Structure 1
Amino acid sequence: MIDEPLQRLRAAARRTRELATNRAGTGLGHEDADDDVGTIGTDGALGFDPFPLLEALHHHGVRAVVIGQVAGIMHGSTELTGDLDLLWDGAPEHAPALAAAFASIDARLTDEKGGLLPTRPDSFLRPKVSFTSPGAGGDCCTPALPWRDLRVREFLDHAISAVDPGGLVVHYASREDLIRMRHALGRPKDLRRAAELAALAPDHP
C-alpha cells in the first residue's frame, strides 16, 4: 500500500486536474497567484502533477524537501494547489544532481525577474529559482532565501519521508515547521492554512 501522505497527494493532484479542465485558462502563472486563493486559481493547476519531478529528484539522488501547500496536503490539508515548492541545502556539491533532475524532465528555469536561466548547477545556487515543467511549476529555494527569523536549514533535518511500493521517497516539511513558515509569510492563505494544520493530528513517526 502507498504511504498515506502520497495517497493524499495523488488524489489531490487528480482533483486539481479535474477542476482545472472544466474552466477557461486564466493566463496566470504560479508567480501571479492571489494571496488568498493561491495557485489553484492559476494556469499552474492545468495538468498539475508533481510526481514526474519528485520521481526525477529521487532517481538522481537529490534530497529536496517539499514545502508549501503540497506538503500541507501530505499532512492532510484539504485545500488544493497548482504549484510545487522545494527546499534544498544549497550546497554546491549537490547542485549537479539537482540540475540533472530538472533537465531530465525538460524544466524551464527563471530568475526573480522572470529572466530565463540555463538548467545547469550554478543556476540553482541562487537563494531561489522558479521553474515550470510538464507537470508542475513552483520555486526551488535554499536556506539563503530570507525567512525572517526562521532557522530554515534546521527544517531540512526535521523533514519526514514518505515511501511508495515502487521505492519512491518523498521528503516533506514537518507539520510544525510548515506552520512556522506559514506564519512567517503571513498572507491570508498562509494564516488560513496554518490554522488548518494546527488542528490536525501531530506528525506520524
Structure 2
Amino acid sequence: MTQMIDEPLERLRAAARRTRELALSRPGTGLGHEDADDDVGTIGTDGALGFDPFPLLEALHHHGVRAVVIGQVAGIMHGSTELTGDLDLLWDGAPAGAPALAAAFTSVDAHLTDEAGRPLATHPDSFLRPKVGFTSPGAGGDCCTPALPWGDLHVREFLDHAITAVDPGGLEVHYVSREDLIRMRRAVGRPKDLRRADELDSDTGSG
C-alpha cells in the first residue's frame, strides 16, 4: 500500500465545501442519493446538502476499519473536478471486521437500508450483505463488499492496491487506485462513469 500525505484530503475538503455552498444556493430537490441521475450524479440531489464525508471517514479510522473509498469521492482525491453528494465504500466483507464497521456507523448516527430501500439495523450482520445503503448527517452512500457483482472485475484485488492518504492529525483514508477506479467506472458504464473515467484517463498529473 502506497502512503501519501494530505493533498488528496485537501482536495476532498475543498470539494465538500463547494458542494455544500452549491446545495445551499438552490431549492431542495426531494431526491436522495439512490435517486441520482445517471448523467448528473448525486450533486443534483439533496445528498449534497451539508455534504461532509469526514465525520464517517474519521469514525472508520478511529474504529480501525479498513474501508476503501470508491466512486466520485475517490475520483476527487485523484484530482477530478466533478463534485458529488455521496460517499461509497468497499471493504473485504470478512465477518470478523463487521462489529468495528457497525460501531463506526453507529457513532455517526447512520441509518442503513437494503438494496430495496428497506431499513436495516445498524448491526454487524447487516454489513455482510453485498451492498448496504446508508445515510448519516454528513454523507450517504453505499458500503459494498467484493461479493457485489462488478462484471468481469475482481474487486477484492483492488483492496490490496488501495492508496492511503494521511493528514497532519494522523487521519488515514484509504482510497482506490486511479487505474482500478477507471476500471470500475468503465465496468458500470453509466454516462457519468464513462465521462469521469475519461477525465481520469486524460489527467495524468494528479495523485
Contact 2:79 2:206 in 1 (8 A): no
Alignment of 1:32-181 (within 5 A): 32-181=35-184
Q: Aligned-pair distance for 1:203?
A: 6.9
Q: Aligned-pair distance for 1:202?
A: 6.3
Alignment of 1:13-32 (within 5 A): 13-32=16-35
Q: TM-score, normalised by structure 2?
A: 0.97
CA distance in 2, matches of 1:82, 1:179: 19
CA distance in 1, matches of 2:106, 2:205: 36
Q: Aligned-pair distance for 1:198?
A: 0.5
Contact 1:174 1:203 in 2 (8 A): no
Aligned-residue CA RMSD (Å): 0.9
User: Higher relative CO (CA 8 A, sep ≥ 6), structure 1 or 2?
Assistant: 2
CA distance in 2, matches of 1:15, 1:159: 26
Contact 2:42 2:84 in 1 (8 A): yes
Structure-2 change in CA distance of 1:176 and 1:93 (3 Å): same
Aligned residue identity for 1:101: A
Identity %: 85
- Give the number of aligned pairs: 203
Aligned residue identity for 2:85: G
CA distance in 2, matches of 1:151, 1:111: 23
Specify every segment of 5 or more residues in structure 1 that has no aligned partner in the other structure, as ranges: none
Contact 1:175 1:202 in 2 (8 A): no
> Which stretches of structure 1, 4 residues or more, deviate above 4 A after TM superposition?
none
Structure-2 change in CA distance of 1:170 and 1:145 (3 Å): same
